[in-house]
Amino acid sequence: MRAGPGRWAVLAALVVLAAVMLFPFLIVAVNAVKSPAEYGAEGPLSLPGELYLQGIADFWKRVDFGAKLWNSLVISGSVAVLAVVLSVLNAYALGIGRVRGRLWILVLFLVGNTLPQEALAYPLYYLSKEVGLYDSKVSVIIVFTAIQAAFGTYLLSAVLGQFPREILEAAAIDGAGRFRALWRIVVPISRPTINVLLIFFFIWTWNEFFLPLIFLISNDNQTVPVALGVLQGEKYMDATMSSASALLGIVPAVAFFLIFQRTLTRGVTVGAVK
Amino acid sequence: MRARTKGYWWYLAPSLVLFLAVIVAPFLMNVATSFTRWSGVGTPRWVGLDNYTRLLDDERFWQSFQHNVGLIVAMAIVPTALGLLLAAVLFDYIGRRFGARTAAALRATYYLPQVLPVAVAGVVWGWMLHPSYGAVNQIFGLKLDWLGDPDLALATVMAVMVWFQLGYPVVIFMAGLQRVDPALHEAAEIDGASWWRRFWHITIPQIRPETFVVLLTCTIAALKVFGPIYVLTRGGPGNATMVPSYFSYLSFFQKSNVGYGSAIATVLALIIIVVTFLFLRVQERES
């Protein structure tokens, strides 16, 4: 391969772009550990003279951030598990059972998943008040289980549609019932796709903002993105505390990315082009 | 055959009940409410198409969809175009000259903003763009009110969304490029085709399916955008960054004008359904 000096220029351009993409993360991290006095004197661009963790600690205590993390964890975890269970059941009926009208059912699920939440928000808000679920984690779990399962069904049905039939026929001859075949054969063999769905549902639900904003109005129930989004512009949010709050929003998201990186990069492409 | 598939219906039952209660019924209720005047309490009063005719005369409504077009440019068109170029350069230029690890590291960096909850991305940029203490003004030595100036606010939100969205197409396209037969590029190279010619005549046609999918999913995301607007500008200043989703949210929960909000949400839903069907058709034709 010929190696001209041009290739360094190309690499330099891409590295500059990478620096621009990373810059917000870095500057948030730097200023989250800077004291307000130092920020006032030096501004946002200087490196902190000393590690000042009081801003993060104050913000954490003030908004009871641990509780927000727990809420997000409970909601996202429950949705991920429930939505995967439903997706598997649906995909079993549609992909392997090939029930009549399956194409229409799939279209219905897909449209349901794509509908803007704005077109469901007020009736859901109204209904949840009627049944006494307003401002509860349960309400958000129910709604997102339905929305995520709709997508999961669409994806998993396509995967199970290609499931090797011989295995199922062999199981039927051995006397395995339908549920046994699902639980003992289909689920273990589809494990990789199911894992991708679990992780995606978890992260998607974690990142949701609109419906949780409407449903979770009390401080005790708020998720991480809702708490941070609502606090923007509060009087006590000075420069360093704002960056501390941003950092607390970034850390879990980046942690998930690093933990699930391999599954995620595989999954992003599975989701887009099946 | 029918008897054999019949028992499978039970597996669908829980989801169908849930789906009916959480998506189908609320959606139909929303459409029904859009034909009424209702403050959220008391009995809705039937007004026929009144909300829709009022929408057509409402300048904010048209503005909000114009802003949506801007966001489609920022979230779908620019990231797709830039993503195609970046993915191709990373894949068959950087990857071949500096190694696959360099390309993968750069790809991960571009993707990083995508992992943030979009509301958190808004918090980050709200802080960086603050007119008095924000980092952006400090760097450029400016004193601009990026989000508070009606002439700047939409462009600023668009720039933030490009930053947020760029990594997604890069990742999808790089995965798509692995499908492309390297022999095509080698043959073209032997024939003396420049990198740009190969990019234009081989790479782009080969990853058409991915390009369609990315364009359409990003367009839907742009039509739905709410979080960044809520966190960065609340639709303001004035209506400079008003979008349909935020407009309906305002009507529902702040102006107690539920019928009007429902009409906006219904129009938005119809547009998105049309785009979704387009997406299905394209996917069907491609496969």
Helices (H), chain B: 2-6, 9-19, 25-33, 50-57, 59-72, 78-89, 95-97, 100-111, 118-128, 135-140, 153-165, 167-177, 182-190, 195-198, 204-206, 208-224, 227-232, 244-253, 258-286
Number of H helices, E strands in chain A: 15, 0
Give the span between the Cα atoms of A125 and B33, in whole angstroms. Answer: 13
Give the span between the Cα atoms of A135 and B226, in whole angstroms. Answer: 20
Answer whether residue A255 is part of any domain: no
Structural domain count of chain A: 2
Answer whether residue A192 is part of any domain: yes
Vertex B136 angle, CA B135 and B138, to 5°: 65
Q: Do A27 and B27 touch (CB under 8 A)?
A: no
Cβ-nearest to B122 among A93, A229, A253: A229
pLDDT at A163 over 90: no
Q: Do A112 and B262 touch (CB under 8 A)?
A: no
Q: Are residues A27 and A147 in the same domain?
A: no
Cβ-nearest to A225 among B119, B135, B224: B119
Q: Are residues A163 and A196 in the same domain?
A: yes
Structure tokens at B22: 């959480």
- The per-residue pLDDT for B151 is 93
Q: Are residues A89 and A149 in the same domain?
A: yes
Q: Are residues A165 and A223 in the same domain?
A: yes
Q: Are residues A43 and A85 in the same domain?
A: no
Interface of A with B in 110-169 (CB under 8 A): 110-112, 114-127, 142-143, 145-147, 149-150, 153
Residues 6+ apart with CB under 8 A from B27: A115, A119, A120, A123, B269
CATH of the domain at A220: 1.10.3720.10
Q: Which residues of A126-143 are buried (b: 16+ CB within 10 A; e: fewer)?
A: ebbeeeebbbebebbbbb
Amino acid (one-letter) located at B7: G
Answer whether residue A221 is part of any domain: yes
Q: Are residues A49 and A140 in the same domain?
A: no
ipTM of the complex: 0.89
Identify whether the C-beta of residue B37 lies closer than 8 Å to the C-beta of residue A135: no
Identify whether the C-beta of residue A120 lies closer than 8 Å to the C-beta of residue B23: yes
Answer whether residue A79 is part of any domain: yes
**Overall average pLDDT of the A5-22 stretch:** 91
Q: Are residues A84 and A217 in the same domain?
A: yes
- The per-residue pLDDT for A2 is 52
Answer whether residue A86 is part of any domain: yes
B23 contacts on A by Cβ (under 8 Å): 112, 115, 120, 146-147, 150
Q: Which residue of A has its CA nearest to B3?
A: A99
Domain residue limits at A42: 6-54
Q: Are residues A48 and A99 in the same domain?
A: no
Report domain extents, chain B: 48-286
Query: Residue A236: helix, strand or coil by DSSP?
Result: coil
Q: What are the pLDDT digits (tens) for A194-237?
A: 888 999 999 999 999 999 999 999 889 999 999 999 988 777 77
- The per-residue pLDDT for B3 is 43
CA of B205 to nearest chain A CA: how many angstroms apart?
A: 16
DSSP for residue B36: E
Q: Which residue of B has its CA nearest to A260?
A: B115
Q: Which residues of chain B have pLDDT under 50?
A: 1-3
Identify whether the C-beta of residue A177 lies closer than 8 Å to the C-beta of residue A245: no
- The per-residue pLDDT for A266 is 67
Q: What are the pLDDT digits (tens) for A58-91?
A: 999 989 999 999 999 999 999 999 999 999 999 9
Answer whether residue A160 is part of any domain: yes
What percent of chain A is modeled with pLDDT above 70?
A: 95
Q: Are residues A209 and A88 in the same domain?
A: yes
Kindly compute the dihedral angle of the four CA atoms of residues B10, B12, B14, B16, in this order, to the nearest 10 degrees: -130
Say if A8 is an interface residue toward chain B (CB within 8 Å). Answer: no
- The per-residue pLDDT for B181 is 83
Q: Do B33 and A273 touch (CB under 8 A)?
A: no
- The per-residue pLDDT for B166 is 96
Q: Are residues A219 and A153 in the same domain?
A: yes
CA of B164 to nearest chain A CA: how many angstroms apart?
A: 9
What CATH number is given for B48-286 in this structure?
1.10.3720.10
CA of B153 to nearest chain A CA: how many angstroms apart?
A: 17
Q: For residue A123, give the H/E element and its range.
A: helix A118-130
CA of B196 to nearest chain A CA: how many angstroms apart?
A: 14
Q: Do B268 and A118 touch (CB under 8 A)?
A: yes
Q: Do A207 and B116 touch (CB under 8 A)?
A: yes
Q: pTM here?
A: 0.90
Where is average pLDDT lowest: A24-38, A86-100, A160-174, B39-53?
A160-174
Q: Do A45 and B209 touch (CB under 8 A)?
A: no
Structure tokens at A226: 């809702």
Q: Do B124 and A123 touch (CB under 8 A)?
A: no
Answer whether residue A269 is part of any domain: no
- The per-residue pLDDT for A267 is 64
Q: What are the pLDDT digits (tens) for B34-56?
A: 999 998 888 889 998 999 999 99
